[in-house]
Structure 1
Amino acid sequence: MPPPADDTALRRLADHIRQRRVELGMNKIDVAKAADITINTYMKLEDGRPVRDLTYGKVETVLNWAAGSCQEVIRGGEPTPVQGLEEGVATSPVTDADLEGDVGQAVTNALIGVADDMSAADIRALKQRVVDEWRELRRSRRGASGGN
């Protein structure tokens, strides 16, 4: 069983699951069967009650969400849809904001590990310069490729 989540977080997950099921044109039994879980277990999800991590994983696959999406929703995030399931490869749309955050976090993590003489302000400033350069690179490449 996963760590306890508050009722609000589980309700939020239930809403996301229900909305996605409807978007896919599936009924509750369809999802339960496709996920290889009982209808009672599936009903726990839509009722906002906790289930095992394995169950979340099975349902994520049926809903075309990336692994870990249910826990991400419980933590306050959003599910990550996957697309283009070809030859066992799934892709997920990544936003510029996601990439920008990841670039900034990677710079911070790297500097914390090796820059003993840098202050927090120095690390933040360098991180901002790297993110700004990354942003400019993305803009220039989009302009060169006609916006793609």
Structure 2
Amino acid sequence: MAAAGNHAAQNMQRLADLITQRRASLGWSKEKAADEAGISYTTYTRVEEAQNVQAQSLVKIESALGIAPGAGRAVLRGDMSLKLADGGELLDGSKITPIQPEWLEEEVQRAVTDAAIGTIPEATGEKIQELQAKVIETLRRRGVLPESGE
């Protein structure tokens, strides 16, 4: 009996990890995920803490996060991955490391500098800085980087 309970707890933790991973991949806070699912923050948090929630709450979370219908229940029954509505899947044990926007901006600037020096050796420092600023502005406009001060 303890073994069955242990498997249930492991499956619940796997689901919690995969739901957390999916939310992080969307760049959402727990608050946003709860709002998008139309459930309370407390209920949403219970899922990420591997606690029981009503089946209807799990269905709402699946829909909001772009998870295939019934995929959460399948993980609770022992599936090792979480199927996504777009046909993809999240695998147990894989990790997403959130990229910090300020780190990404610095890396983009370095990459632009390296590329400019490597392809346009006559480019002045001022022109390289203009190019960096234009690339950062474009990435912000596309939503890849947050606006300054966010």
TM bucket by the smaller chain? 0.5 to 0.7
TM-superposed CA distance for 1:9, in Å, is: 1.1
1:82 and 2:78 are equivalent in the alignment:
no
Residue 17 of structure 2 corresponds to which residue in structure 1? 15
Question: In structure 2, what is the Cα distance between the partners aligned to 1:7 and 1:80?
Answer: 20
Residue 122 of structure 1 corresponds to which residue in structure 2? none
TM-superposed CA distance for 1:44, in Å, is: 0.5
TM-superposed CA distance for 1:7, in Å, is: 1.5
Question: In structure 1, what is the Cα distance between the partners aligned to 2:49 and 2:36?
Answer: 19
Which structure 2 residues correspond to residues 14-53 of structure 1 after superposition, within 5 A?
A: 14-53=16-55
Q: Which has the larger radius of gyration?
A: 2
Question: In structure 1, what is the Cα distance between the partners aligned to 2:78 and 2:66?
Answer: 19
Question: In structure 2, what is the Cα distance between the partners aligned to 1:81 and 1:23?
Answer: 12
Can you give the 5+ residue segments of structure 2 that lack an aligned partner in the other structure? 90-150
Cα offsets for 1:73-96 (capped at 9, x unmatched): 11121221112xxxxxxxx359xx
Which structure 2 residues correspond to residues 98-109 of structure 1 after superposition, within 5 A?
A: none
Q: Report sequence identity in percent.
A: 31
Moved over 6 A (4+): none
* TM-score normalised per structure 2: 0.52
* TM-score normalised per structure 1: 0.52
Which structure 2 residues correspond to residues 57-136 of structure 1 after superposition, within 5 A?
A: 57-77=59-79, 78-83=81-86, 92=87
AA matched with 2:37: A
Can you give the 5+ residue segments of structure 1 that lack an aligned partner in the other structure? 84-91, 95-148
**In angstroms, what is the RMSD of aligned CA positions?**
1.9
